[in-house]
């Protein structure tokens, strides 16, 4: 079962979460991102979206278990709901319907905009559904995840690449010691650090 945490409480408990809000006076989004010591983009070799979804779930679990992390907290950088009107009304794509059902079965309703705490035992299933929504719904975006000690910020892009940003040197060292035990490879994005 997933555990919900109200948005305000989540931000108070985990202030390192990246945040974004729209400022009407300057007609721009304002971004707040904590200081980080490294910036990595990872990818997996996969031929199909279904294969990528399964591999992504397996390898993220492997990575975070290797780091000794027991749970992750997920939160959108903007004040938006988990179940968007796009996803809630879709009936044409079975995977999206299942992903929305998964959230609803875990008491994440159409108005919920807070954080979701995911235990390692549930992370594989969660990531599969989460990635379907990330890949298919443009309104469902910019959900970051963080461990309870707030040492690493993660993000899953709609193309299946994973952004990892250690906040301190200890987290960076641990990450570099574990990432090579997974199937993740460097995405070689310009301006990022190499694993």
How far apart are alpha carbons 37 and 42 in whole angstroms?
Answer: 16
Q: Mapping DSSP to helix (H, G, I), strand (E, B) and coil, where does residue 110 land?
A: coil
Q: In this model, does residue 108 exceed pLDDT 80?
A: yes
How far apart are alpha carbons 25 and 70 in whole angstroms?
Answer: 42
Q: In this model, does residue 72 exceed pLDDT 90?
A: yes
What percentage of the chain reaches a pLDDT higher than 90?
Answer: 90
User: Higher model confidence: residue 67 or residue 140?
Assistant: 67
Q: In this model, does residue 114 exceed pLDDT 90?
A: yes
Secondary structure (DSSP) of 38-103: --EEEE---SSHHHHHHHHHHHHHHHHHHTT--EEEEEESSS--SS-HHHHH--S-HHHHHHHHHH
Q: In this model, does residue 112 exceed pLDDT 80?
A: yes
**pLDDT tens-place string over residues 7-27:** 999 999 999 999 998 888 999
pLDDT score for 14: 98
pLDDT score for 139: 87
Surface-to-core class of residue 42, CB atoms within 10 Å of its CB (0-12 exposed, 13-18 middle, 19+ buried): buried
Q: The tokens of 104 are what?
A: 């609803």
pLDDT score for 113: 97
At 88, phi and psi to the nearest 5? Answer: -65, -30
Q: In this model, does residue 179 exceed pLDDT 80?
A: yes
Q: Mapping DSSP to helix (H, G, I), strand (E, B) and coil, where does residue 156 land?
A: strand
pLDDT score for 141: 77
pLDDT score for 150: 97
Tell me what the pLDDT averaged over the chain comes to.
96
Q: Can you list the positions of beta strands (E) in 77-181?
A: 115-119, 143-147, 152-156, 162-166
What percentage of the chain reaches a pLDDT higher than 70?
Answer: 100
**pLDDT tens-place string over residues 140-167:** 879 999 999 999 999 999 999 999 999 9
């Amino acid at each position: 079962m997933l555990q919900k945490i109200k948005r305000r409480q989540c931000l108070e408990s985990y202030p390192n979460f990246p945040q974004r809000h729209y400022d009407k006076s300057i007609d721009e989004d304002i971004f707040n991102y904590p200081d980080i010591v490294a910036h990595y983009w990872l990818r997996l070799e996969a031929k199909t979206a279904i294969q990528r979804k399964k591999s992504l779930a397996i390898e993220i679990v492997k990575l975070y278990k290797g780091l000794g992390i027991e749970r992750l907290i997920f939160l959108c950088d903007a004040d938006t709901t988990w179940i968007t009107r796009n996803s809630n009304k879709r009936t044409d794509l079975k995977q999206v319907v299942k992903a929305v059902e998964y959230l609803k079965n875990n008491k994440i309703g159409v108005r919920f905009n807070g954080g979701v705490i995911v235990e390692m035992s549930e992370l594989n299933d969660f990531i599969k559904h989460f990635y379907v929504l990330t890949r298919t719904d443009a309104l469902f975006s910019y959900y970051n995840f963080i461990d309870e000690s707030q040492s690493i910020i993660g993000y899953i892009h709609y193309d299946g690449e994973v952004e990892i940003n250690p906040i301190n040197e200890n987290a960076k060292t641990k990450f570099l010691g574990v990432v090579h035990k997974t199937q993740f490879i460097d995405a070689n994005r310009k301006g990022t650090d190499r694993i």
